[in-house]
Structure 1
């Protein structure tokens, strides 16, 4: 994402309007120019790359755009490495130790460094050449790191990434936001809720799969102590939201007046027609190898029960539960299957609390025997579900026995 100094927003009353570029020939040419500069500098130092980028900026009025594109390329598409025969810090220690034994540091010259590098090379039995020692002495400084890999995006995808980053930056100082995820495919909800959990966002969820969900999320400035890290986490959720087909969102922000420096309230709205493009993958077919293995083994069995992936969403006050599978029989019987193989006590406590509050009588829990439920404070006596135990792999036959 972009740092604050590269964000370009304007105000229309209380409404925040982030800068979004048109994907036209002018901007595509600028993006291609920046990408080509990175390609030409592959194998060179970051310092040399920065000098080339500065020359490209020149006195152009688009210098802010060029810096933003370069920042995105550096942070997401480049690999910079410190190339040194030894760890640079250890190398400096050995060179400085030799220097202390020879001449005072105030008299050090380039010739002195050449002599020290030669002496250290001899101590290392010439496995490392003097020129390599000199090059590696400060190889860990950012300006000396080498651009070893560059996965060049297309100019169009880079511009889409820039537009998305400008919108993400709006949420750095959000107080709270309300997200309405309208009726969508259940798998899209699953992906959205997974990212909410991944980024540890404080969210209150209401609704159901038929009518949609309303998600209220606390912003970083609503916390007791405003957190930059939480603001970044909230911004990282936006690309995941773009995989949901139909949604709308309103956010309240804290903005600072450019002239007076006073804080005031800002507004921002976004919906599924925004035209932004996500760079996040649309989601894996399965959350774990355990689920994938179970599905493969089920497909190999001869049974009238049909296994469906993440179809039902069970609304729970303030949250939602999405079972891993749904099992459907031609006679109309339906069961929901949740695989519990994750070991963290906090997760187990939350999972079984959800089961108790789900108020469902067709739920099957497949629980790993390796879990220490007693240590996690979990009691299965009052869990309203059918239980299947497994060790390393969940057997479809054991699930069928419970079904029949």
Structure 2
């Protein structure tokens, strides 16, 4: 595979994109910093096809990323391959307002092929290619220039290895007929709502301190205020105010700004600084949530009887057995909560009772719950048997 020097100008990038646009797939990765910022700071983009690979410097003064963004978002004939691409997708969504598509995530594919749940990139490279990756450059400062050879070699390897892995995974998926299993997970990964939301919706991502309309109204106002502050200052949300402190403020609002000094998690300066004044203004202007805005009650985990709890444990054992036999990560088939609902008698709106999940696991799970399947031991080994009638 041809490895290009670091790309720092638009003309060279444009030529690379023209070639990549003729390919069936491209592999993409990024290096970024976000420990001290709200917005991730994109420091490097790596991209490869089956023939060539390059690193692109988004911090270079003479580069415009528009040709690359057009390839990733507008070019429908080229599949974009990532590994555990959630944060990479967030970065491109921030840049272009859209998510690269069509999309393929090798971590999700690996779950369907028995490589384990949320398998890391290095472990996947080792399992598929037999190559051990040097992780020494992983936590370097990617924003500092110039980047040294060790950093660039490490970064480029992320896409060159993945360009070899992807066709192998694709072949395995075709042989096993499991490509359709991934559609739901891929769609969830590419959902733009995961990356873009209005400040007024920030409270929906928090643990609710109460279900009282007045408390939730204050939480909505406070979370929106914090979101705007964090975005404006480009600081992590927790650097403004932590979630627990917001919940406390929503539950027990201070009567005056001077009372902020009594709130755990706020420093003494809040009693007379500008940000404290803005916080108090958010509280003062908060209105109780109307009935239509109240969050739907989360379905309670079913109250399992002792016998049903045992059945749930048997379902978890059955899941492990079936997943091992199928060579697939158990989490791709079912979550523990679904098994509890099934054990408690729920039969509606369970993913395991439809589609491929039903064929692989749900039918046997239902038979176990309804007494048509039993566990037994024979010569010290566990086996399952059908029960007539």
- TM-score normalised by the shorter chain: which range applies? under 0.3
More strand by share: 1
TM-score, normalised to structure 2, is: 0.20
More helix by share: 2
Question: Larger C-alpha radius of gyration, 1 or 2?
Answer: 1
